[in-house]
Amino acid sequence: MKIIVITGASSGFGALTARALAKAGHTVYASMRDTTRQNAPKVEEVKKFAKENKVDLRTIELDVSSQESVDAAIQQIVSENGRLDVVIHNAGHMVFGPTEAFTPEQLAELYDINTLSTQRVNRAALPVLRKQGKGLVVWIGSTSTRGGTPPYLAPYFAAKAGMDALAVSYAAELARWNVETTIVVPGAFTSGTNHFAHAGSPEDNVRLKEYESGPTANLAKQIMKGLELTAAPDADASEVAKAIVNVVDMPFGTRPFRVHIDPAQDGAEIVNAVADRVRAELLRNMGLADLLKPSSSEVAVKKAS
């Protein structure tokens, strides 16, 4: 039975995963912002779900864009349970449109929501996990980071690529503190999440109109049509939640570095396999092979003996 916090749990993967983990018997904090206003109905839904299913699923106010809010949430969880076992970085937001029509400020905002958010949560939670000498960090990445990608999603893809780089680095930096890392990599799910429906738009309308009237006049429509062509029609977002439950329930030290859930098979799984292989090779060549697994894991102990 683990104490788990997950960000961005008001909808999509986050909401599904929080429920699935609670059903698996864990104490789960479904964190979201604006619990008393915008997300008040979501809080009620969670309460109802917990009661009906007799599971320990709770909501907690946590705005990933505010260090103060993040700190308060993590402190509350630790004071209520005396520990925190699993952190799941899930909060994210998408935009759609020609890259040139997004302002640098919009790109900065996307990086903040998708990437700096994880840094705020890590700076609040990792001291707890490191002090415990045990913990798990799960990152919800994106196949876009390594797989084939359509245009017009660049600010989001750039932020997710940054988040993946942070995850990869943190994995090695936390290994000797006996904190384990798994990166869960979902492909494009065009249904079952609000990701596409809630996608933001470029702020520079003059530039947007240039792209909409020049040689790229039809491109936005063609991309949406192409996404339909290449999407897996039976893609089920709950598969991502199931994969996360599976990772959390594995014995410490045996969890995979990455798990892909990509019904559309955009190639990320193949590319990441090679990328993670050359990463392991480099760490070994640098004399840092122990960073590939948490220090108390069987593999790490075997290597050290």
Among 56, 76, 134, 151, binds a second copy (CB under 8 A): 151
Among 5, 6, 126, 259, binds a second copy (CB under 8 A): 126
Give yes or no for residue 163 binding a second copy (CB under 8 A). Answer: yes
Give yes or no for residue 50 binding a second copy (CB under 8 A). Answer: no
Give yes or no for residue 165 binding a second copy (CB under 8 A). Answer: yes
Written in H, E and C, the secondary structure of 69-134 is HHHHHHHHHHHHHCCCCEEEECCCCCECCCHHHCCHHHHHHHHHHHHHHHHHHHHHHHHHHHHHCC
Among 230, 236, 263, 299, binds a second copy (CB under 8 A): 230
Give yes or no for residue 123 binding a second copy (CB under 8 A). Answer: yes
CA dihedral 27, 30, 34, 35 (to 10 degrees): -50
Give yes or no for residue 301 binding a second copy (CB under 8 A). Answer: no
Within residues 178-197, the interface with a second copy by CB under 8 A covers 178
Q: How far is CA 83 from the centre of its chain?
A: 22
Give yes or no for residue 162 binding a second copy (CB under 8 A). Answer: yes
- Distance of alpha carbon 155 from alpha carbon 110, whole angstroms: 7
- Distance of alpha carbon 91 from alpha carbon 195, whole angstroms: 11
Q: How far is CA 45 from the centre of its chain?
A: 22
> Residues 277-296: x/- map of binding to a second copy (CB under 8 A)?
xxxxxxx-xxxx--x---x-
Name the 3-class secondary structure at 181: strand
Give yes or no for residue 119 binding a second copy (CB under 8 A). Answer: yes
Name the 3-class secondary structure at 252: coil
Shortest distance, CB of residue 158 to a second copy, whole angstroms?
4
Instruction: State which residue, 46 or 175, has the beta carbon closest to a second copy.
Output: 175
Give yes or no for residue 223 binding a second copy (CB under 8 A). Answer: yes
